[in-house]
Amino acid sequence: MQRLLFFSRVAFICNICFLLTWLMRYLPPMQQGHIASTVVILGIGLSVILNVIINFFIIVFLLQKKPVVAHVPIWLIIANVLFMIVQLILLIK
């Protein structure tokens, strides 16, 4: 369960990068550099994949009636699920 907590946190950070990447489309252009490219890679590439995997494992653990909420905070689970819904909507669109 410690790995699930770790990867849930990593997925949340990637989801924040996804939000920043989405906001970059509407804000004035930033200087192209290592930070901007890292945010784009984490936001577009890694966040969708990692978010789907983490939410899949959380659903599996909940179906097995394992105490996920005891190890992973509920706000983190809800935030990752909400980000996944937004990502899937934007991916289908």
User: Nearest 10 degrees: CA dihedral of 76, 82, 86, 89?
Assistant: 130
pTM confidence score: 0.85
Q: What is the pLDDT of residues 25-73, one digit of tens each?
A: 887 776 777 777 788 788 888 999 999 999 999 999 999 998 888 889 9
Q: What is the DSSP letter of 10?
A: H
- Specify the pLDDT at position 30: 67
Q: What is the pLDDT of residues 5-28, one digit of tens each?
A: 999 999 999 999 899 888 888 877
Q: Domain count for the chain, please give it.
A: 1
Tokens of 44: 């577009």
**Owning domain of residue 32:** 2-92
What contacts 36, CB < 8 A, 6 or more positions away? 24, 30
Question: Are the CB atoms for 36 and 30 separated by under 8 Å?
Answer: yes
